[in-house]
Amino acid sequence: MSNFLMQILEKEGVPTHFVEELNDRETVVKKVSIVPLEVIIRNISAGSFAKRFGVEEGIVFDEPTIEFSYKNDDLHDPLMNAYHAIALKLATREEIEQIKSMAFKINDVLKAYFLKLGVKLVDFKLEFGKTADGTIVLADEISPDTCRFWDAQTNEKLDKDRFRRDMGGVEDAYKEMMHRVFGD
Ligand code: UDP
């Protein structure tokens, strides 16, 4: 799914790490150094946003939000703003601006794509990498592990929250997402 979505994004002008899918388990990607930021875009309140701000899940935002977390397991990926990232030399101001505009573009493309499949793109996490020549590309993955997907009619969860919240039906939800993307 990740490779497929990356190819859609490439066609829409978003540079990604994707080079070639060799088989079900192996993909050739560009060598990058990962910018140590988790970039989270949200269209609808859920998860840590709902918890942090004391609001219910399901509030549809007028505009998408963006936030950064510092990728650091020892510190539990703390939330940070662009100034913190620049101060810690995780990225330059120009790179942050580029990452922001790429992230919103990715949201526009994926939100519309999933809506056609009857799926709301609630929120998702992106990671970006830098190639040897300094180009910023989308890296890592995009999948039900890194996105919240809700059925557009019923709001049924079709993502990792089924596992995180011990709701059961994890495999069925992932199969349903694969089915919506690839058909039979
Ligand atoms: N996410 C992720 N990896 C992480 C943290 C979050 O892929 O380490 C994704 C998560 O699947 C969701 C979005 O980022 O789609 C926002 O997650 P949130 O901040 O609400 O945290 P959570 O509720 O997942 O702890």
> Does the reported pTM lie above 0.85?
yes
What six digits make up the tokens of 63? 């505009």
> 20: which residues sit within 8 A by CB, 6+ positions away?
27, 28
What is the CATH class of 2-182?
alpha beta
Q: What are phi and psi of 75, to 5 degrees?
A: -95, 5
> Average pLDDT, stretch 5-32?
98
Q: Kindly report the protein residue whose alpha carbon is nearest to atom 23 of ligand 1.
A: 47
Atom of ligand 1 nearest to the CA of 67: 19
Q: Which residue from 26, 59, 22, 55 is spatially nearest to 43, judged by alpha carbons?
A: 59
**Euclidean distance between CA atoms 103 and 135, whole angstroms:** 15
* Domain positions in the chain: 2-182
Question: What confidence tier does 184 reach under pLDDT thresholds 50, 70, 90?
Answer: confident
Q: Kindly report the protein residue whose alpha carbon is nearest to atom 10 of ligand 1.
A: 146
Distances in whole angstroms, Cα of residue 113 to Cα of each of 109, 128, 130, 173: 6, 21, 26, 18
- Ligand 1 neighbourhood includes 72 CB (under 6 angstroms): no
- Ligand 1 neighbourhood includes 146 CB (under 6 angstroms): yes
Q: For 45-95, how does the pLDDT look when each residue is reduced to its tens digit (9 = 90+)?
A: 999 999 999 999 999 999 999 999 999 999 999 999 999 999 999 999 999
